[in-house]
Amino acid sequence: MTVLYQVGDKDSRPWGTWEVIGVGKNYIVKKICVEAGQTLSLQMHHYRDEHWIIVSGTAEVTLDEQIYEAHQNTPIFIKAGQKHRIANKTKDPVVFIEVQTGNTLDESDIVRFEDKYGRQTL
């Protein structure tokens, strides 16, 4: 696997921000902030699993057809091939830690099904 991320890499997206806080063989750790009223695309990955832990705020999590509320310390496991999304329906930011594990850990492994920001979808 080629490591495309380095600790300290960060980016702004229409929904908020992410920052890489850890990188190792076959894993990347990101701190992600979803701003009030924003949502990530409904997506899936072919080659990676993701582990999320909510550290602050209240999120609406979609895993395949299930939708539920997640609070501080809620763990979420997303296996490769599973549709998922996180949304912030509150007035405060949602912050979570995302651990990606697998052989392909880059933007090429995002398959979008819905995106309110007009980014490429199926």
For 106-115, how does the pLDDT look when each residue is reduced to its tens digit (9 = 90+)? 888 889 998 8
**DSSP symbols for 58-98:** -EEEEETTEEEEE-TT-EEEE-TT--EEEE--SSS-EEEEE
**pLDDT per residue as tens digits for the range 66-97:** 999 999 999 999 999 999 999 999 999 999 99
**59 — pLDDT class (breaks 50, 70, 90):** very high
